[in-house]
Amino acid sequence: MNELSNYQEHIDKAIDWAWATLPGLVVSVLSAILILVVGLYVIRFLNKMLSKFFQKKDYDLALETFLQSFISIALKIVLFVLIITQLGVQSSSLIAIIGAAGLAIGLALQGSLSNFAGGVLILLFKPFKVGDFISAQGIDGSVKEITIFYTKLTTFGNQVAIVPNGKLSNDNVINYNAQSARRDNVKVGIGYGSNIKEAKEILLQICADNENISKEPKPEVYVDGLGDSSVDLTLRFWADTSVFWPAHFHVLEETKYRFDAAGIEIPFPQRDLNVKGGSLKA
């Protein structure tokens, strides 16, 4: 009987504990869920308002995307703290947990923190902006988006390359849109029997006929070298950055057409085979 009464006593204590604890726990959980739902809605609403605000202002697009990403993450962290506090975690304990977790996460995510710092440096010093065509980390492409951790580039093949900001801020970057105009160097080889003066006049006339090529500074042609089988000419001209590539490709194509019409040879590698003491059989 004593053993049975002990069991009954434990059961009664458990029931009393449940009646004393569960209602408050249920309320805390429901409150936390409510805070989560409302908080996510508020964050989504604030992001939309921020996006509309940026659309009305003429801010740098890179700065807009960076701030939107940063603010969204910061608001979600605040929401997480509110939910944890609502579930009964003491603020002092929460601060200690966050401090320990921050140290552990910082050690584990050194690369991500470096990328974050790199994103801040990119926004401060502006080595490039959204829309610029750059070459970095062995990738050529137009800057599509700059976020807090990485930068998206759209390549010639319309692929999206994702490059960490840490590497972009600490390595060489070539920005082809930094200047309003670019100079092109087109190298062309002609045969030793061809007329150098005529070839130079043809190249300069191609530039004069193309509206995309700047007339000032004037295009120039030089003999750049005497190769094994060709006289190497270099054509230098300037063009606005927006029409640089159409001008470049036009010069290459038109050079072939006009050299052929003038009888100017463009040498190509070839080899003579002499057979002695016999004949070749198929």
pLDDT digits (tens, 9 = 90+) for 47-98: 888 777 777 766 666 667 777 777 887 888 788 877 777 776 665 565 666 6
| Confidence at 282, pLDDT banded by 50, 70, 90 | very low
Inter-CA distances, 154 with 65, 134, 141, 198, Å: 16, 10, 5, 42
What pTM does this model have? 0.56
pLDDT at 202 over 80: yes
What distance in Å separates the CA atoms of residue 112 and residue 123, rounded to the nearest whole number?
17
* pLDDT 10s digits, 115-129: 878 888 887 788 888
Q: Residue 239 belongs to what H/E stretch?
A: strand 231-240
Burial of 197 (0-12, 13-18, 19+ CB in 10 A): exposed
Domains and CATH numbers, the chain: 19-108 (1.10.287.1260), 118-175 (2.30.30.60), 181-262 (3.30.70.100)
Rounded mean pLDDT, 18-44 = 72
**Stretch 187-197: mean pLDDT, rounded?**
92
Percent of the chain with pLDDT over 90: 31
